[in-house]
Structure 1
């Protein structure tokens, strides 16, 4: 790919946002970063990735952390900032990639190569997807969807000035329940390619 392209995919749990990001990564031939971002950071900084994963996409615990002279002792905040810095450096280097979550729509805001997407879904469809993926009951799946989305919202809203899932924060918000994952990816791909043609 000649021109830099960065696609940020925010998503509700159960919406299939990650699967859609994988489809887009194949169609645009781009590396996809999600939890594997921590593996690269751990390798670069000689850290234990298992230790980092415990604090991934979790907001700062206010009860057990404090700031001293502008520095926080919160491992959650340290991990978040490691990822944010890594994304900025990667974007500034001219690299093209897809990033899932990690507040990327705000962390990379202002980068002309950035396209921001948010994938949502109907509760019934999200629950059905989680039931199938994790082989759990309907009630268990609903509990997982609600609790995971609450965690994502809390994480995002702690580190960002804009609210998680607010359509005004993204170029395109789309409900994957309407047409399914492949057709949703088709629409997003078409949007990005049209945008790229406009910016030639």
Structure 2
């Protein structure tokens, strides 16, 4: 592949997408970014980390979104950035951080519409991790030490928030197979199996690209 390899991971709550992403990064010997991305974006933009955490994967209103995308597509200056609404600044700073990461290093990035930010980046592979409901509830309940009933409620609300965010900022649909290069059901593969499958997909893609070049 040309450039650094970046694996972006979308995930259903409770599917162990974060854990799978972390295991994948360890197998590849690259850095892993989830909440770490918020810290990095805050550092690079000079804005406080709490702002990124409070807006993390949350959709904004349609009017603000149109302003964001118009500005992003046309480019922006430092002065115009300073005059933007707060949500606008957070959105652009996070997307800029994702793009900079792709240019600097190979890595695994979880969530935050990273696949959309890197849509034109040739060495990006987008993955979506799903799972069967009973397995997601069990995993989340154990990981967060809550009851299955509480886990089910949190999972539903979290997935709705993530879907709204992704559908808003991208031209694709969250969780739809057409929106990603690879979709994996962790209930079927298991966590290690999911990592193995993603690694095999990377190998096949690299081989296919090499064949086309040859």
TM-score of the superposed pair, with normalisation by structure 2 = 0.83
Q: Which residue of 2 aligns with 1:11?
A: 11
Structure 1 position 87, deviation (Å): 1.3
Tell me, yes or no, if structure 1 residue 85 matches structure 2 residue 96: yes
Shift of 1:157: 0.9
Contact 2:30 2:107 in 1 (8 A): yes
Work out whether residues 88 and 108 of structure 1, in 8 Å CA contact, stay in contact via their aligned partners in 2. yes
2:203 is aligned with 1:193 = yes
1:47 is paired with a residue whose SS is: coil
- For residues 36-77 of structure 1, the C-alpha deviation after alignment (integer angstroms, 9 at most, x for no partner) is 111112222332212321111111146999969968965334
Aligned partners of 1:173, 1:139: CA distance in 2, in Å? 27
In 1: Cα distance, 2:9 partner to 2:20 partner: 9
- Name the counterpart of 1:59: 59
Q: Please give the secondary structure, in 2, of the residue aligned with 1:99.
A: strand
2:124 is the counterpart of 1:117: no
Give the Cα separation in 2 of the matches to 1:199 and 1:65.
Answer: 36
Structure 2 vs 1, CA of residues 139 and 196 (structure 1 numbering), >3 Å: closer, same or farther? same
Gaps of 5+ in 1: none
Q: Choose 53-62 or 97-106, whichever is displaced more.
A: 53-62
TM alignment of 1:14-163, pairs within 5 A: 14-61=14-61, 74-91=85-102, 93-163=103-173
Gaps of 5+ in 2: 72-79
SS at match of 2:7: strand
Pick one of 189, 204, 213 that aligns with 1:179.
189
Q: Compared with structure 1, are the counterparts of its residues 82 and 25 closer, same or farther at alpha carbon in structure 2 (3 Å cutoff)? A: same
Change (3 A) 1:161 1:44: same
Structure richer in helix, relative to its length? 2
Across the aligned residues of Structure 1 and Structure 2, the Cα RMSD in angstroms comes to 2.7
8 Å contact 2:5–2:124 — kept in the other structure?
Answer: yes
20-29 or 32-41: bigger deviation: 32-41
Q: TM-score, normalised by structure 1?
A: 0.88
The number of residues matched between the two structures is 199
1:77-127, Cα deviation, whole Å (9 max, x unpaired): 432221112212332x25211111111222211211111110001111110
Aligned 8 A contact 1:5 1:97 in 2: yes
